[in-house]
Amino acid sequence: MTESAAEPKDVGTGRDEQPRVPLFKAVWNPRMLICVFIGFSSGAPFWYVYSLIPYWLRTNDVSLISIGSLAILQLPFSWKFLVAPLLDRYAVSSFGRRRTWMLASQTTLTLLIAGMGFFNPKQEIWGIAYLYFFVVCGAALQDIAIDAYRRELLPDNELGLGSAFHVNAYRYSSLAVFSLPVILSAYIDWRLVHIVAALCMLPGLLLTLTVKEPGIHGSPPKTLREAVILPFKEFLFERRGGLRKALYVLAFMLLYKFGDTLATALITPFYVDMGFGPWEIGLVSKGVSLTSAGVGIFAGGLIMYRIGINKSLWMFGAVQFLSILGLAFLATQGNNIWVLVGAVTFEYLGVGLGTSALVAFMARQTNLRFTATQLALFTSLMALPRSLTGVITGFMVQVLGLGWSLFFLFCAVTAIPGLMLLPKIAPWNEKEDSV
């Protein structure tokens, strides 16, 4: 896309569309395999810092206060858009804009994760904290580069499908980076456990060395100042609908999944309050939730390939709304294992469908000249509710005394504003440029 000299556009993608092929061929093409590898590579360091490090520290008798304090060091995940202009502007020419930063971050992460096990949790917690922060920074940089690479790799009519493969691989990487190391920790030294976790970065690293850089669309920013200013100027002022439409889009990204994010923020304490035991929570709720979300994400990608992103946002938003009501029903039934299975299956199916649609929608909203910066802004906004909901949920259930049933009904109500924005940003019958 050339810089907006002509009439404003609805979205600034500028990507030529690939011919539509049968669904089977769309699924079995190299671009989907690449999405799987980079999704796994993106998820690995997240689950490492989010799940494995706390488990390692707690099994070595580190205090909950120290472990909880590490959460503040995850802030780079929420501020990716501040450094993203660097990734749009600078690169090693032989690798390209995206592969330069993918290679640098993946190499760094491999070394940092492998080195973590050489620290003693009881005696060197500050050293672990510093290294933890650098792992988060490396993971955030990798996310920016990978998100931009995926957007530039996929033609518009494959955004939903490719995003589904990516998000599923991201989620299931937790099995390799958390579940497997936890099991191995019972048999081998923790230094080797961290090395095993570090090896999970190798598939993405090898992929980066072998794939080609996506083509450059339009002229990239020539200066750092352009890389900072132009992405926001283009999104806010140079598209059809101008600032008003841009604000609607940003509000939608913030609100579309707010209801189910709020509903699942304290889902494990809810299970405990309902009287479910460790076996039911561990095997039924967690196993069912991971499987249902995975099915929802993949089904969402297939559906979007068939009917487009706009209609999918409407349909999946309705499922999200109804699935929250399933949790409200569970709260009225108490300790009923079959209601638990049904409610959790429905809830996380909605989570998966909604996630796949929102990720595809955000990708469609980016201008390929400024992919890293704009996608970093959008994903940071999408992650914001996750940072806010923990305080809100505990206050409402415990301090205000709403109880779980009324709380989930409130969560369902908070899902409505996002759905009300759909006619403005994704009309049902609008012909989509991207599909």
pLDDT in tens, 332-342: 998 899 999 99
Task: Give yes or no for residue 254 having a pLDDT over 50.
Answer: yes
Asked if 199 and 258 sit in the same domain, the reply is no
pLDDT tier, 18 (very low <50, low <70, confident <90, very high otherwise) = low
Asked if 152 and 30 sit in the same domain, the reply is yes
Residue whose tokens read 């592969």: 99
Asked if 276 and 164 sit in the same domain, the reply is no
Residue 307: beta bridge partners? none
Q: From CA 270, how far away is CA 410, in angstroms rounded?
A: 15
Asked if 254 and 339 sit in the same domain, the reply is yes
Asked if 273 and 204 sit in the same domain, the reply is no
Task: Give yes or no for residue 130 having a pLDDT over 80.
Answer: yes
Asked if 177 and 50 sit in the same domain, the reply is yes
Q: Which domain holds residue 184?
A: 23-216
In a domain, 406, yes or no: yes
The pLDDT value given to residue 286: 67
Asked if 302 and 246 sit in the same domain, the reply is yes
The pLDDT value given to residue 434: 39
In a domain, 6, yes or no: no
Q: Which CATH number do you get for residue 309? A: 1.20.1250.20
Could you read off the pLDDT of 369-378 as tens digits, one per residue? 888 999 998 9
Q: How many domains are there within the chain?
A: 2
Residue whose tokens read 């650098």: 134
Could you read off the pLDDT of 171-227 as tens digits, one per residue? 899 889 988 998 899 899 999 999 999 999 999 999 999 999 887 666 778 888 888
Asked if 375 and 405 sit in the same domain, the reply is yes
Asked if 46 and 92 sit in the same domain, the reply is yes
pTM beyond 0.75: the answer is yes
Mean pLDDT, the chain, whole residue set: 86
Asked if 240 and 142 sit in the same domain, the reply is no
The pLDDT value given to residue 289: 84
Task: Give yes or no for residue 435 having a pLDDT over 60.
Answer: no
Say what angle helices 125-153 and 337-364 make with each other, to 10 degrees.
60
Distance from the Cα of residue 104 to its chain's centroid: 21
Would the CA dihedral through 415, 418, 423, 426 be positive or negative?
Answer: negative
Between 241 and 414, name the one with better pLDDT. 414
Asked if 201 and 281 sit in the same domain, the reply is no
The pLDDT value given to residue 20: 65
Asked if 288 and 264 sit in the same domain, the reply is yes
Q: Which of 9-18, 249-258, 381-390 has the lowest mean pLDDT?
A: 9-18
In a domain, 16, yes or no: no
First to last CA, the chain: 18
The pLDDT value given to residue 3: 39
In a domain, 434, yes or no: no
In a domain, 432, yes or no: no
Could you read off the pLDDT of 166-183 as tens digits, one per residue? 999 998 998 899 889 988
Q: Which of 63-67, 88-92, 156-160 has the lowest mean pLDDT?
A: 63-67
